[in-house]
Chains A and B, each alone.
Chain A
Amino acid sequence: MVEFRIFRFDPEKNKEPEFKPYQFEPFKGMTILEGLYHILENMDSSLAFRSSCREAVCGSCAMHINGVYRLACKTQIQILKSPITIRPLSHLPIIKDLVVDLNPFFDRFREIKPYLIPKENPPEKEYLQSVEDREKIDDWLDCILCGACYGSCPVCAQDPKYLGPHALLKALRFVDDSRDGATRERVAFVTQNSGIFRCHTIFNCREVCPKDLDPTKAIAKLKWKSVFKKF
């Protein structure tokens, strides 16, 4: 038997959030997400949470599970101590239960112009990019925008204007891309007040990233580029 203690808040009904307990028998290999579906389908159909791919690639189900920001789909029940406390991502307005309003998170992301600004007009075929140049962006590509880093970051908590680990990692993805021609503008933009120098290098983002990315390192690299003007 496992117990989930789930953060519940319905703006139509509740003034204050509360934690509700749910007990059930998990099967071997059952994930937190499968547990949430078990509750929705059999115990309490008013529960709200997000999910889609169930294989750690769509970024829907980041939440705070027993003290750590994780993807519910990728986390097995049996590795955690029961009762398992489940809360929504922090620093974001709550819509209902485990569903938060991610607009502030995506608004920061949009600010960094998250699209390729090509250095030169496209050739007839593909831009040539060496294997080595392609490798330079490899560490920054896999972000699924789940928000785990944002939820765990104390600077995001204090400063809603702070671009955040997700947006800064994406900025470096374009800075390091041999096809992108806006490096100078990008570095200048993230050097502003709410950018890279607001990062206190606490490493929370790196600790929690379910894709094992290292936004702290990305930010450090941007700081280095900003200071030494090495582009």
Chain B
Amino acid sequence: MLFHEVLVIGGGLAGLRAAIEIAKMGQEVAIISKIHPMRSHSGEAQGGINASLANVEKSKDDSKEKHWYDTVKGSDFLADQDASEILTASAPEAIFEMEHWGCPFSRTPEGKIAQRPFGGAGFPRTCYATDKTGLYLLQTVWEQNIKHNVKVYEEWVVLGLATEDGKCCGVILMDLRSGELVAMGANAVIFATGGIGRIYANTTNAITNTGFAISIPYWVGVPLKDMEFIQFHPTSLARTHILMTEGCRGEGGYLRNKDGERFMSKYVSEKVMELGPRDIVARSIQTEINEGRGFPDGTVHLDLTHLGAKKIMERLPGIRDICMNFIGIDPIYEPIPITPGTHYIMGGIDTDKNGQTPMEGFFAAGECACVSTHGANRLGGNSLLETVVFGWRAGEKAAESVKGKDKKAKTKALEDALKREQDNIQNFKKLSGKENPYKIKDELAEMMVKSFGLFRKEEDMKTGLDEIMKLKERFKNIRGAFGGKVFNLDLLSFYEIKANLDVAEVLAISAIARKETRGSHYRTDFNKRDDQNWLKHTIATYSPEGPQLSYKPVTITKFQPEERKY
């Protein structure tokens, strides 16, 4: 039976960074990835990564503590402050490490790493490499994995976790190329599987970012935390919802409604304007659209035309390419039609500040995890930072945890888990209903935007939850999975769609329960933050009857909750 001391699931930034740490510490590690690491969604991150380097004139008074405070304030005080402190205090070191590994950051005239302003930040703190920061970081970290000769199982998909006495002892995998199911033992497993954006129709996320990965630990008892907190990015390109980086506004881009008005002045102070935190800017845009001040195609404009060709070509070349290729406009001459788009999940697999989940032997890092450093709203530039900082920490802790352990697979537990997955697949193949599963996927994604979007209220959310339950019933009546063994995308989609429904249910129930407005969770029927009752994390645990909710206190070490004004 296959065995590795530590298995990292996911080949994006968090997973790759974790693997390097484990390899450096001398433990044996392999990465499992549904897609080749360079195809990971980390590569689509554009604008940058935050660290208080104070490299530019305007950021000379910046400090780790100010970064920490901005992160906590941005989170609407739901972040665990010890976790946010680690994130922000480790930031300079983490970024210098990426630079030492070769990441081609843009430069200041003195040759230092360049920094630009981002939303919700007191100083220009976002280190950038043009508008392709994610791609270049992904290249850099993957290159280091090549250097350390880390084994990667490409196009192997995790279907289930194997556990023994409540501890994780490996995973069940499908090798997409052969279609074979394989059990793989491990003394520690780290999930670094990214976000779940595709449960929403209007997402900026890659097609591969479904609810499947985080449903796997959920189904075996690992709780999901704060799942009601979904970030809607203010600016996604019309129709395609491709991300238009916050860097567009950081570099001085304007938001305008159909009357040409820079409407952000109505929602935040004149000093902040387009650079408010994402939750507030996204709601402002949607308000303009809802109140009839959008363009006929339901968008507002992200206007870069005043920045000039030179600045756009130098700082935002990727944005220009995307606009020209996907909607045929050149932002040097024309404004970009945008709407908010589902971008990021602050919630995820419940972990502590070392990436440890409540299940022994099981860790999580990156977007799939909820530490929580971002609380109710993440600041732009903090997610790339989270992947490298918490990937590193989870790698280190997992490597420490396996030292001295038997390097042997727990055969019995793995065989049982393998049998379960074989049965699951047989059941998918035996289905003979009439429903097209992809229609269920699409209907769910459309409904999520309507019922669990930027503005929420009890009535809509309850209708949405009913809809999820109906879709779950309909899913029982889908057609069978066709196709042979080799590269069967259809079969994989069955798993993904089933998981999307379960994850959507967790999100829905968590959101309905939280009767307040905090960060990205904006309720028109409870439009104030309620620290008395709701300054706490939602914990959702699987049961056959549906998710069971409990709550956990927020760790407050330094900053007392205050009203969040920009």
Contacts and interface: CB of A to CB of B under 8 A. Distances in A.
A54 B240 contact: yes
A191 interface: no
Given A52-B35, A57-B44, A130 B107 contact: yes
B102 A177 contact: yes
A141 B110 contact: no
A177 B101 CA distance: 12
B89 interface: no
A97 B487 CA distance: 9
Contacts of B17: none
A130 B111 CA distance: 4
Nearest to B439: A41
A124 to B, nearest CB: 8
B36 interface: yes
Contacts, number: 154
Interface residues of A, number: 58
Given A45-B490, A52-B35, A115-B144, A58 B113 contact: no
Given A12-B486, A46-B482, A131-B107, A55 B242 contact: yes
Contacts of B53: 125
B487 A55 contact: no
Contacts of A110: 146
B322 A129 contact: no
B36 to A, nearest CB: 7
Given A13-B484, A41-B438, A46-B484, A145 B38 contact: yes
Given A10-B484, A46-B482, A141 B438 contact: no
Contact of A114 (B111, B146, B326): B146
Contact of A52 (B113, B207, B243): B207
A116 B143 CA distance: 8
Given A51-B207, A144-B135, A59 B39 contact: yes
A70 to B, nearest CB: 11
B146 A11 contact: no
A96 B490 contact: no
B325 A128 contact: no
B232 interface: no
B41 interface: yes
Contact of A40 (B146, B326, B489): B489
A95 B240 contact: no
A199 interface: no
B136 interface: yes
Interface in A39-88: 40-42, 45-60, 74
A182 to B, nearest CB: 12
Interface string B473-494: 0000000011111111110000
Contacts of A45: 481-483, 489-490
B26 interface: no
Contact of B104 (A60, A99, A102, A134): A134
A2 interface: no
B153 to A, nearest CB: 13
B206 interface: yes
Given A116-B101, A131-B107, A60 B35 contact: yes
Nearest to B178: A95
Given A58-B44, A142-B132, A129 B107 contact: yes
A56 to B, nearest CB: 6
Nearest to B483: A46
Interface in B311-331: 318, 321-322, 325-327
Interface string A130-171: 110110010001101100000000000000000000000000
Chain B, interface size category, equals: 35 or more
Interface in B240-261: 240, 242-243
A170 B481 CA distance: 41
A198 interface: no
B474 to A, nearest CB: 16
A141 B318 CA distance: 12
A17 interface: no
A126 B102 contact: no
Contacts of B482: 45-46
B177 A42 contact: no
Contacts of A106: 36
B212 interface: no
Contact of A95 (B38, B109, B487): B487
A24 interface: no
A118 interface: yes
A122 B484 contact: no
Contacts of B143: 114-116
A223 interface: no
A177 B104 CA distance: 9
Contacts of A74: 325-326
Contacts of A144: 38, 43, 135
A48 B487 contact: yes
Contact of A127 (B35, B44, B100): B100
Contacts of A96: 486-487
B239 interface: yes
B96 interface: yes
A35 B69 CA distance: 47
Contacts of B136: 141
B156 interface: no
B305 interface: no
A150 B100 CA distance: 30
B436 A95 contact: no
A126 B490 contact: no
B206 A52 contact: yes
Interface string B106-145: 1111111100000000000000000010011001100110
Contacts of A137: 104
B558 interface: no
A79 to B, nearest CB: 10
For the complex of A and B, 3 pairs with smallest distance between CB atoms? A116-B102, A128-B111, A41-B438
7 contacts: A46-B490, A57-B135, A95-B486, A126-B100, A131-B111, A134-B105, A141-B132
Given A50-B35, A58-B41, 8 more contacts: A12-B484, A49-B489, A55-B240, A115-B143, A129-B107, A131-B111, A142-B135, A145-B38
